[in-house]
Amino acid sequence: MFDLKKGIHIYIVVSEREARSQMEDILVLDGFDVSTFATPKDLWEHFQTRPARFIIIDESFGGEFSGLDVVKTIRRQNLLPYVYVLVRSTIEQLSEIEAALAAGANDCLVIFKRHDPFQIRSKILVGLHWLNYIDSVNSVVAKMEVKPSGKQLVTGT
């Protein structure tokens, strides 16, 4: 897992201060580079100057710019390198999961009573594997060249 973390910065946008702090502590202790934000708007302002590859965000915040708005904006812009988005929801709001996935979230983190470090680590590991796979595919595609005839692709060295 440590090789997968290289160069990955995680942004956390969780409305409850205590929950945000607990998640940050778990990830920092695991060796991740983490930044936290209190609102999706704060995240988005920072993201535009320093994009992250991995975002954990609450779906709703009660404001005019929600977590789903961030997800939709990222997907609409088709950003490269790819941004993995994990939407956080509570057990009482399972209906939000469908909306989050429809908006373009990669996965959902369902919180029952408090953060489960194993669940968080597992979801992040899946996301890191996904980002690693996408990066490897992009690397292969970047090395591909079209022969002048335009009929055959060959791998460059």
CA angle 111–63–58, rounded 5-degree value: 20
Start-to-end CA span in the chain (Å): 28
pLDDT digits (tens, 9 = 90+) for 30-41: 889 999 999 999
Q: What is the pTM of this model?
A: 0.83
pLDDT for 6 equals 66
How large a percentage of the chain has pLDDT more than 90?
A: 42
How large a percentage of the chain has pLDDT more than 70?
A: 83
Tell me how far the alpha carbon of residue 38 is from its chain's centroid.
17
Q: How far apart are CA 9 and CA 55, in angstroms?
A: 9
Two structure tokens written together for 27: 């990830």
- Please tell me the CATH code under which domain 2-155 is placed: 3.40.50.2300
Mean pLDDT of 62-83: 87
53, 82 contact by CB (below 8 A) = yes
Mean pLDDT of 56-85: 87
87, 71 contact by CB (below 8 A) = yes
pLDDT at 95 over 80: no
